[in-house]
Amino acid sequence: MTAIQPDRLKQQAAQLAEHFADPAAYVHELHQLLDYYADRVRRPGQAGRPAPLTPAYNVRPPVLRALLAALLPRLQADPQNGLALCDALWEQPYLEFRMLAILLLGQAAPDPPEAIVQRIKSWITPALELQLIESLLSLGVERLHRECPMVLLQLIRQWLENTQPFYQQLGLRALLPFINNPAFENLPVFFRLITPLCQSAPSGLRADLLDVLAALARRSPQETAYFLRQVLAYPDAPDTPWLIRQSLNEFPPEIQAGLRSALRAVERRPTAKRSRPR
C-alpha cells in the first residue's frame, strides 16, 4: 500500500477532476489512481465490519475525501455533467467508484429533484449490498433531504406501499433520518405512513418497525403513545399489541402505565383480535 502524502493526493485529485466533463476519461484515470493507493494486504474483517461483496481497491478514507473535495466546485458549477459522472461511476462494479457516485449524488443540486430520485430508485435493488444501500439512504440523499424533504417522503411512501418487503424495509430505514431531524416538525406524516405496518407487521419488518417506533418515542413520547393507542383500537390490528409490548421501555414510566392499561382493556374485549401465534 502506497503511503498517503496529503499534498500529493490533493494534487492528484485536482488533476483527475480536470476530466469532470469527460466521464470515460475520469473513470479510466480513477482506476489508475485507486490502483496506486490500493491496499493489497488487508484481509476481510480487519476494518471492523464484514468485507464488502463488491470488488474493492481497499483504499483508505482520505483518498475518497480528496476526490470528492476536488469535484465539488465543478459539481456546483455544472450539475448536469456532475450527474453524468455519477452515472459513469456507478456503472463500475467497484466499491470505491460507487461510493464516490453516492457522495457526489448527495451533493448534487436537486434541481429538479426527480433527477436525484430517479437514480436512487434505479440504483437500489435487492441485489445491492447493504453497505451501499445504507450509504444511499444517508449520504446519497443529503441535499434532497435538506432542500426537498417532501419529495423524499413521497419516495418513502412509494417504498412503504410496495408489496415487496425489501422496499418496505427501505422505507422504514429511510424514515429514521427524518424522525431524528428536529428541524422537521411534521410528525403526523410519519404516523400516517407506518399505520398499515403497525396493524399487521410482517416478521421481516419488525426490527425496523421497532427502530422507527423507538425513534418516534424519543422524539415525542406523548404523540407516539397516542398513535399506538389509536392503532390498538382498530378492529383489525393483530400485531399492534406485540409492537407496543416490545416498545414499552422506550417510554417514560407514566406513559408505559397508560399503554399497559390500554393493552389490558383490549385483551378484556371478547371480540378483540389476538396477536398471531409466534
- Give the closest residue to 165 by CA, choosing from 193, 202, 124: 202
**pLDDT tens string 9-41:** 999 999 999 999 999 999 999 999 999 999 876
In this prediction the pTM is 0.88
* Spatial distance between the Cα atoms of 28 and 269, rounded to a whole number of angstroms: 68
Confidence of residue 42 (pLDDT cuts 50, 70, 90): low
What DSSP letter does each residue of 45-97 carry, written as one string? TTTSSPPPSS------HHHHHHHHHHHHHHHHH-HHHHHHHHHHHHHS-SHHH
pLDDT at 92: 97
Under 8 Å between Cβ of 236 and 199: yes
Radius of gyration of the chain (CA): 23
Q: Which residue in the block uniquely carries the three cell numbers 400485531?
A: 239
**Residue 262, all three cell numbers:** 390500554
First-to-last alpha carbon distance for the chain, in angstroms, is: 51
- Give the closest residue to 206 by CA, choosing from 244, 263, 261, 176: 244
Mean pLDDT, range 146-154, rounded to an integer: 96
- Tell me: pLDDT of 274 over 60: no
* Spatial distance between the Cα atoms of 190 and 195, rounded to a whole number of angstroms: 9
Helix (H/G/I), strand (E/B), else coil: 31: helix
Domain spans of the chain, in order of start: 186-278
**pLDDT tens string 165-202:** 999 999 999 999 999 999 999 999 999 999 999 998 88
Mean pLDDT, range 252-265, rounded to an integer: 95
* Spatial distance between the Cα atoms of 129 and 127, rounded to a whole number of angstroms: 6
Peptide bond into 112 cis (omega under 30): yes
pLDDT at 1: 63
Under 8 Å between Cβ of 36 and 2: yes
- Tell me: pLDDT of 48 over 90: no
Dihedral Cα 270, 272, 273, 274, nearest 10 deg: -70
Helix (H/G/I), strand (E/B), else coil: 141: helix
Under 8 Å between Cβ of 142 and 107: yes
